[in-house]
Amino acid sequence: MAMTRQDPDATQALRGLEDSRTSVRVQAALAVGTAPDPCFVDKLVERCAIEPDFFVRDMLTWALTRHPVSLTLPELLREVRSERAQARSQALHTLSKIGDRQVWPAITRAVLSDADDEVARSAWRAAVVLVPEGEEPGLATVLATQLGRGAQETQLSLSQALVALGEVITPTLRVATASSDPRVRAHALATQRLLRDPDLGFEWAIEEARQIVALAGAPQDG
């Protein structure tokens, strides 16, 4: 039976989400997701924005997926526009888990190019889940503007997102391999390799691509 605001168990669970002990917060999020109730949604979204522990955040996301989308989506879409980076990142992650494509208009170019790497990575993962059929080429074009960005972990996330779109990324990557920026060229080449061989490790692929770019830019004898 769903809990109400007056239910002592609901009150205890809500307080548990703010407990200083990680184990208590995990159990509280589990309880909230096991017995979903509208009174939990605001607190779950609020905690996603400030929760320091990755595992607890994941449990909060799971709990949100257990609630009606009519309640969760408006709250999460507001969080996508939050000034707090973690709020944006976790909201995008949760939207990808819910998988409702009606939120696709919120995955804008600005969101996909967010200045915070963690937010951008969450946006890329969400985008490939939520993109409507037929709009994959346009998404590939936008994602390609981020090639060469950040450290290796960030580049891996972008390559994985692009590869998840499939062969539609081929023309976009071909253009990127001719970029004047060697980081973009190397990242595009590495992504091409992963598209052809998804089991290939990104570390190996990007190192090979960097060598190819370096050799292509080296002075030629004669």
Cα–Cα distance between 144 and 165 in angstroms, integer?
12
* 144 lies in the same domain as 126: no
Q: Quote the pLDDT of residue 217.
A: 61
State the DSSP code for 220: P
Is 82 a domain residue?
Answer: yes
Cα–Cα distance between 57 and 25 in angstroms, integer?
10
Which residue range(s) make up the domain with 106? 13-130
* 122 lies in the same domain as 31: yes
Q: Quote the pLDDT of residue 213.
A: 85
* 88 lies in the same domain as 141: no
Is 7 a domain residue?
Answer: no
- Residue ranges of the chain with per-residue pLDDT less than 50: 1-6, 218-222
* 117 lies in the same domain as 19: yes
pTM of the model: 0.88
- Please name which of 137, 134, 136, 156 lies closest in space to residue 146, comparing C-alpha atoms: 156
Measured from the Cβ of residue 209, the count of other Cβ atoms closer than 10 Å reads 21
Residue where a domain terminates, one of 113, 130, 147: 130
Is 1 a domain residue?
Answer: no
Is 44 a domain residue?
Answer: yes
* 17 lies in the same domain as 120: yes
Is 31 a domain residue?
Answer: yes
Q: Which amino acid is at 129?
A: V
Distance (Å) of CA 173 to CA 2, 122, 150, 168, 197 = 50, 21, 18, 10, 15
Q: Which amino acid is at 68?
A: P
Per the structure, the count of domains in the chain is 2
Cα–Cα distance between 190 and 125 in angstroms, integer?
18
* 27 lies in the same domain as 116: yes
Is 186 a domain residue?
Answer: yes
Is 124 a domain residue?
Answer: yes
* 143 lies in the same domain as 192: yes
